[in-house]
Amino acid sequence: MSPAIHLSVKDELDKMVIEMMKGGYISIKKADQILDIFAPMEFPVVNISTGTFSPIASSSKADVSSPLPRTSTEVDKPLCDDTNKMLRTLLKSVSELSTKIDKILFLCERLAMSVIDRRTEEMDSDTIHFPLRTHEELRSLEAALENQKYRDHFVARLCNLMCENTRKSAKACLQYLLSPELANTYTLHGTRSKFGISKYKFYSTVQSALCSHFRSASCPEKEIIHAMAAASQAFLHDARDKVHKRGWRSKERLASQALSDVTNIINDTSTST
């Protein structure tokens, strides 16, 4: 067993703060705040071979440097007094340490949250291109809408698409957001084989934007929600028609190209003979 036991976490704290500064998670000012909270604290060191204690932290006024009685002939009362004094001082130091660690954990949690918010705010809105064509792009939009700054920018775009008619405005927004190929994989409320767009955040955001834009005494929110649902049904129906029509035209074009290739081969053969 080592003759001395020393309890200190200051070195580990310094390392942690330096790493956080290198990673750009905290500024120098924040680092200073952490180090100020976690003031240097020295714990008593007991030397087992001599039975003596080192001085406690400079902030403590307790005197625990006197040697422990070594023989049974010495009076027990000073031993008890020294031991109790040492224990009280140690408990006080542990309590202070616990309080400071709680403050550090709270501060680190706030710093982590601020880093996440900063990274989200730095998201470039131009990285999401409309109309969306894949489910991955739709998931990226859903994640971006969690950020208030991006959501405000998104709503401003939608408002520029709106006209005087609620239903036409809703359909224009959906046409701007979703390509026919992507819209064809959804229904309004969902089925066993398809998801419903009404369950997505972008849908509720469009609906909220419509309510803010059109709501009045003559146009209550209930009517706007109904118009949004009707426009969504019409949009999804048109998307299915476009996809199916493109598929038919594609097959027709392939057949026409094949016939043209055969005709060219026959003409080339006739010319060569």
Q: Return the closest-CA partner of residue 155 out of 114, 204, 104, 97.
A: 204
pLDDT (0 to 100) of residue 57 = 41
Structure tokens at 267: 């003409």
Mean pLDDT of 204-214: 96
The better pLDDT of the pair 58, 152 is held by: 152
CA distance 142 to 204: 11
Report whether pLDDT(225) > 80: yes
State how beta strands 46-47 and 4-5 pair: antiparallel
Mean pLDDT of 46-61: 46
CA distance 174 to 95: 59
The better pLDDT of the pair 269, 4 is held by: 269
Model confidence band, residue 56 (pLDDT cutoffs 50, 70, 90): very low
Q: Is residue 129 within a helix (H) or strand (E), and if so which, with residue range?
A: none
pLDDT in tens, 143-184: 999 999 999 999 999 999 999 999 999 999 999 999 999 999
Report whether pLDDT(231) > 60: yes
Mean pLDDT of 221-247: 91
Model confidence band, residue 227 (pLDDT cutoffs 50, 70, 90): very high
Mean pLDDT of 245-249: 59
Parse the chain into domains and list their residue ranges: 4-121, 135-272
pLDDT (0 to 100) of residue 60 = 44
| Alpha-carbon distances of 271 from 33, 175, 267, rounded to whole Å | 90, 52, 6
CA distance 208 to 83: 69
Model pTM score: 0.48
Average pLDDT for the chain: 76
The better pLDDT of the pair 113, 172 is held by: 172
Model confidence band, residue 49 (pLDDT cutoffs 50, 70, 90): very low
Report whether pLDDT(94) > 80: yes
Mean pLDDT of 203-227: 95
Q: Return the closest-CA partner of residue 107 out of 115, 69, 81.
A: 115
Are 205 and 151 in contact by the 8 Å Cβ rule? The answer is yes
Q: What percent of the chain has pLDDT over 70?
A: 60
| Alpha-carbon distances of 154 from 144, 147, 230, rounded to whole Å | 10, 10, 22
* Highest mean predicted confidence (pLDDT) among 8-12, 157-161, 188-192: 157-161
pLDDT (0 to 100) of residue 82 = 73
State how beta strands 195-196 and 46-47 pair: unpaired
